[in-house]
């Protein structure tokens, strides 16, 4: 009887593939090991052994495998189980899950590109003959395809050799180039000990009588010290005295002034550095006890704690207890909130035991984290990561924290698997019988609903740590302000007034505008035309810094136009406004203050985001303008004022979650104000000041929002009362997309009527020259999810069999957000 293995290949295939192995291989192999196998005419892939058995495949002849890559399983049983669950629930291939779940370096294939990543000479590396040949070749040519290496070695399969080199850290696969992060150092100056004090100061100024330029610097130093308690930055001092580095240097050389450096991300938490014996206030204490009680009942626990109530500290204590039991902890955060701020906070408690995992990490860094977690060694105890961290090979998970659980970015949008990391985390925790806590100041309607219906436990924390009050929220009616001519650009008199107050007190300001770019669109005042993207159905957006019109969907751009492209009129103007325009207005309104901007355009690169956060923390920036990136759980200590430039464009977004989202966003951004000592202030500018949501935000009325929105969801049949599956059809042919959409909607309606919506064009119906159409399937609570999906699979199979629809792609999104 021959032996077979079922292999999961990193391809979007409906099934596992069966390969032939011999008796010895069958004995050696274990589920979760990697093998390289031939696939198709000439390709070679690395796949994962998912089963070992003696049943030949019915419809095809099993081919033998090429090689076994591992001595031990690198995928655990828990992972295999989770992949299966994800592929069934989110209706995607196991191969899609595999690709998302393991670092690319584990998945050598014939098309992979291999690069050298060491500076060492081949003779200094311990290499066998074949390894040596590869390295020598890579010294001559910067990169090689696996196929080319196979030819070079003149053997059937070079993958095991390459795999060894990957594991030794000598070569890397498909490697992108990553920036190396160096913490930024800022130079400060202070008066030398010998020269401080009134008398010494006068003596010094006398001494400098004949060096007027140096004297000028010293005078300015005193005037800066007199104005502010902030340490004096060398750069600032030079600007103020209109002087040069050389002149400052002579003062330093003479020993009058001293320079010192601070690493900007090191001293983030100076002042009240946390330590391992954390003392809770009474509210945290109570919440902590309640959470543990919930854990006793094996329930998912939802922690609804207002901004700055000290949730993070509670998570830290929970992690401590988990470690004491010798178990692993996973701390999930939305990608963007994974800042050095939080990482350092955790590291200051747990030191080396904290591993960080997110998409901006290089392949090698990810491999390293993966290995530590797999080994469950000292370094693999705590993982803090973005959504894909749920895929790590935990062996003894004791706790999962999902921070900012309401965040839509926990859901992967593209490509498959389109999973929701919060929901998968619940399943994962269940596999391990681990505790799980979902935390937020503004829980998602779904989670809060689960808590209300006793599916989850609920713990509330209603006081800010240190008893700082929640910020005072003021709504500014900009319609009236316009009428009364009290607007300067996009700023009401009230907002300007409050900004001035804050700046005078040396506090910082955050301004929120949910749009990047200068002004979204250019419009002709004669004929109404606005320039469109040729590839997408959207207007182009004006960006002033490079004077361009850009498409935010495909990146298409042209130079800013002076005349209308349709009618040649000169009378064109920009409509709407974005972050860049706010920044420009601020620069002219507050020329003596530093203005920063945080949006997709200014935060590119691995550390782009951190850099802006750091300089804001260092108070190098007085006013920070930004998009929703600003809202993600950041803890700044000197922000006293938050302004929301325009609440209306949030509220008017065409989506059934728009109101919930607006509430969450506004409350979160408001939560950045007044976190430490003084009560903060928030100004919301709106044309619609009596809008229910704005009123609820200003009263911090979560339960009111919850009640209203829930009623709407009930009336219009949306989650949490109905589950959704969205089908998106796309093709380059307009009528094909239409026909396919009609066919699919009709087939679904035959079974699921009246719960099929569409087909309809999404708000942007053409992107990169592909036409889009959406169908929404609603699933009532009493209808079986499993059976529904089986029917959907059948319909999709018939769809795929129709020749005319061959060029139409269908993307299935379960629980779309």
Was 533 annotated as part of a binding site?
A: yes
Contacting residues toward Zn ion, per CB under 5 A: 524, 526-527, 529, 533, 535-536, 551, 553-554, 556, 564, 566-567, 569
C-beta of 338 vs 564, nearer to ligand ADP: 338
Q: What are the E-state strand segments in 117-173?
A: 143-145, 171-173
Site for ligand ADP (CB under 6 A): which residue of 617, 635, 660, 770? 635
Kind and range of the H or E element at 523? strand 521-524
Rounded to 5°, the CA angle 773-777-781 comes to: 160
Partner from ligand ADP, Zn ion, none contacting 526, C-beta within 5 to 8 A by type:
Zn ion
Site residues for ligand ADP, 465-494, by CB under 6 A, read 465
Site residues for ligand ADP, 239-278, by CB under 6 A, read 278
Partner from ligand ADP, Zn ion, none contacting 524, C-beta within 5 to 8 A by type:
Zn ion
3-class SS of residue 175 = coil
Q: What is the DSSP letter of 354?
A: E
Q: How far is the CB of 388 from ligand ADP (least distance, A)?
A: 23
Quick one: tokens of 423?
A: 């929901």
Partner from ligand ADP, Zn ion, none contacting 551, C-beta within 5 to 8 A by type:
Zn ion
Was 564 annotated as part of a binding site?
A: yes
Was 567 annotated as part of a binding site?
A: yes
C-beta of 219 vs 527, nearer to Zn ion: 527
Q: How far is the CB of 471 from ligand ADP (least distance, A)?
A: 13
Please give the Cα distance from 758 to 236 (Å, whole number).
60
Q: How far is the CB of 386 from ligand ADP (least distance, A)?
A: 17
Partner from Zn ion, ligand ADP, none contacting 566, C-beta within 5 to 8 A by type:
Zn ion
C-beta of 76 vs 728, nearer to Zn ion: 728
Partner from Zn ion, ligand ADP, none contacting 554, C-beta within 5 to 8 A by type:
Zn ion
Quick one: tokens of 604?
A: 């590119």
Was 536 annotated as part of a binding site?
A: yes
- The 664-703 contact track toward ligand ADP, x by CB under 6 A, reads -----------x----------------------------
| Residues 729 and 762 sit within 8 Å (Cβ to Cβ) | no
Partner from ligand ADP, Zn ion, none contacting 702, C-beta within 5 to 8 A by type:
none
Partner from Zn ion, ligand ADP, none contacting 556, C-beta within 5 to 8 A by type:
Zn ion
Partner from Zn ion, ligand ADP, none contacting 280, C-beta within 5 to 8 A by type:
ligand ADP
Q: How far is the CB of 455 from ligand ADP (least distance, A)?
A: 24
Q: How far is the CB of 675 from ligand ADP (least distance, A)?
A: 6
Was 301 annotated as part of a binding site?
A: no
Q: What is the DSSP letter of 409?
A: G
C-beta of 130 vs 635, nearer to ligand ADP: 635
CA separation, residue 721 to residues 406, 654, 713, 718 (Å):
17, 20, 7, 6
C-beta of 310 vs 674, nearer to ligand ADP: 310
Site residues for ligand ADP, 294-313, by CB under 6 A, read 305, 307-313
Number of residues that bind ligand ADP (CB under 6 A): 15
C-beta of 107 vs 665, nearer to ligand ADP: 665
| Residues 172 and 365 sit within 8 Å (Cβ to Cβ) | no
| Residues 575 and 521 sit within 8 Å (Cβ to Cβ) | yes
Q: How far is the CB of 525 from Zn ion (least distance, A)?
A: 8
Torsional sign, CA 587, 593, 594, 597: negative
CA separation, residue 78 to residues 226, 355, 424, 431, 693 (Å):
63, 20, 13, 7, 43
Please give the Cα distance from 303 to 292 (Å, whole number).
12
Partner from ligand ADP, Zn ion, none contacting 530, C-beta within 5 to 8 A by type:
none
| Residues 792 and 725 sit within 8 Å (Cβ to Cβ) | yes
| Residues 189 and 259 sit within 8 Å (Cβ to Cβ) | yes
Please give the Cα distance from 36 to 69 (Å, whole number).
7
Was 92 annotated as part of a binding site?
A: no
Q: What are the E-state strand segments in 534-687?
A: 541-543, 548-550, 557-559, 572-575, 595-598, 623-626, 639-644, 681-686
279 binds ligand ADP, rule: CB under 6 A: yes
157: left (phi over 0), alpha (psi -120 to 50) or beta: beta
280 binds ligand ADP, rule: CB under 6 A: yes
Please give the Cα distance from 508 to 516 (Å, whole number).
21
Was 524 annotated as part of a binding site?
A: yes
Please give the Cα distance from 259 to 759 (Å, whole number).
67
Question: What residue numbers does the annotated binding site cover?
Answer: 524, 527, 533, 536, 551, 554, 564, 567
Question: What residue numbers does the annotated binding site for Zn(2+) cover?
Answer: 524, 527, 533, 536, 551, 554, 564, 567
- Interface residues toward ligand ADP, by CB under 6 A: 278-280, 284, 305, 307-313, 465, 635, 675
């Amino acid at each position: 009887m021959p032996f077979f293995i079922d292999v999961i290949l990193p391809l979007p295939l409906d099934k596992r593939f069966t390969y032939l192995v011999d008796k010895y291989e069958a004995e050696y192999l274990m589920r979760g090991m990697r093998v390289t196998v031939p696939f198709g005419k000439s390709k070679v892939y690395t796949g994962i052994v998912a089963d070992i058995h003696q049943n030949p495949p019915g419809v095809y002849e099993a081919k033998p495998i090429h090689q076994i890559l591992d001595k031990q399983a690198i995928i655990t049983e828990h992972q295999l189980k989770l992949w299966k669950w994800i592929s069934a629930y989110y209706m995607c291939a196991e191969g899609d899950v595999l690709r998302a779940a393991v670092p690319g370096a584990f998945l050598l294939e014939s098309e992979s590109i291999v690069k050298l990543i060491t500076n060492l000479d081949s003779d200094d590396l311990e290499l066998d003959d074949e390894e040596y040949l590869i390295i020598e070749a890579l010294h001559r040519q910067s990169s090689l395809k696996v196929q080319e290496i196979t030819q070079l070695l003149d053997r059937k399969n070079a993958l095991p050799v390459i795999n060894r080199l990957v594991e030794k850290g000598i070569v890397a696969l498909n490697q992108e180039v990553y920036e190396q992060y160096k913490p930024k150092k800022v130079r400060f100056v202070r008066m030398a000990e010998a020269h401080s004090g009134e008398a010494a100061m006068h003596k010094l100024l006398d001494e400098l009588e004949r060096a007027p330029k140096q004297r000028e610097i010293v005078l300015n130093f005193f005037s800066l010290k007199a104005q502010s308690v902030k340490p004096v930055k060398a750069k600032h001092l030079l600007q103020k005295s209109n002087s040069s580095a050389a002149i400052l240097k002579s003062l330093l050389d003479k020993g009058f002034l001293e320079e010192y450096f601070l690493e900007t991300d090191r001293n983030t938490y100076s002042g009240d550095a946390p330590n391992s014996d954390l003392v809770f206030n009474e509210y945290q204490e109570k919440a902590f006890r309640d959470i543990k009680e919930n854990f006793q009942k094996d329930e998912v626990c939802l922690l609804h704690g207002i901004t700055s109530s000290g949730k993070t500290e509670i998570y830290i204590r929970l992690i401590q207890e988990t470690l004491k039991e010798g178990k692993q902890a996973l701390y999930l955060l939305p990608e963007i909130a994974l800042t050095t701020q939080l990482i350092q906070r955790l590291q200051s408690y747990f030191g080396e035991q904290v591993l960080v995992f997110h998409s901006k990490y290089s392949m090698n860094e990810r491999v390293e984290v993966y290995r530590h977690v797999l080994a469950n060694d000292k370094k693999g105890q705590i993982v803090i990561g973005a959504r894909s961290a749920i895929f790590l090979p935990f062996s003894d998970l004791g706790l999962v924290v999902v921070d900012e659980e309401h965040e839509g970015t926990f859901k992967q949008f593209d490509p498959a698997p389109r999973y929701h990391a919060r929901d998968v985390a619940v399943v994962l925790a269940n596999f391990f019988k681990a505790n799980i806590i979902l935390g937020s100041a503004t829980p998602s309607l779904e989670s809060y609903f689960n808590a209300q219906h006793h599916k989850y436990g609920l713990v509330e924390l209603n006081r800010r740590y240190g008893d700082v009050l929640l910020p005072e929220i003021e709504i500014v009616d900009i319609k009236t302000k316009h009428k009364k001519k009290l607007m300067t650009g996009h700023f009401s008199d009230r907002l300007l007034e409050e900004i001035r107050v804050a700046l005078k007190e040396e506090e910082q300001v955050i301004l929120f505008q949910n749009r990047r770019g200068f002004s979204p669109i250019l419009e002709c005042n004669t004929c109404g035309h606005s320039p469109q993207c040729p590839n997408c159905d959207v207007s182009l957006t004006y960006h002033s810094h490079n004077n361009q019109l850009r498409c935010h969907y495909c990146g298409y751009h042209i130079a800013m136009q002076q005349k209308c492209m349709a009618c040649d009129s000169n009378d064109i103007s920009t409509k709407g406004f974005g972050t860049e325009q706010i920044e420009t207005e601020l620069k002219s309104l507050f020329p003596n203050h530093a203005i920063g901007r945080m949006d997709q355009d200014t935060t590119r690169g691995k550390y782009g985001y951190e850099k802006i956060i750091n300089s804001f923390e260092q108070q190098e920036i007085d006013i920070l303008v930004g998009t929703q990136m600003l809202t993600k759980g950041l803890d700044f200590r000197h922000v006293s004022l938050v302004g929301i430039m325009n609440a209306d464009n949030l509220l008017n977004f065409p989506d059934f979650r728009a109101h919930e989202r607006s509430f969450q966003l506004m409350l979160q951004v408001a939560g950045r104000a007044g976190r430490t000592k003084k009560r903060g202030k928030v100004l919301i500018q709106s044309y619609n000041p009596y809008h229910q949501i704005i009123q609820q935000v200003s009263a911090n009325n979560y339960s009111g929002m919850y009640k209203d929105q829930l009623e709407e969801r009930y009336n219009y049949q949306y989650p949490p009362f109905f589950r959704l599956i969205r089908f998106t059809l796309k093709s380059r042919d307009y009528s094909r997309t239409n026909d396919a959409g009609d066919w699919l909607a009709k087939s679904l309606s035959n079974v699921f009527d009246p719960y099929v919506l569409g087909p309809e064009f999404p708000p942007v119906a053409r992107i990169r020259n592909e036409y889009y159409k959406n169908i929404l399937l609603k699933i009532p609570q009493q209808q079986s999810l499993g059976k529904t999906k089986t029917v959907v699979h059948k319909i999709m199979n018939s769809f795929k069999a129709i020749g005319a629809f061959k060029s139409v792609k269908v993307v299935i999104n379960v629980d779309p957000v």
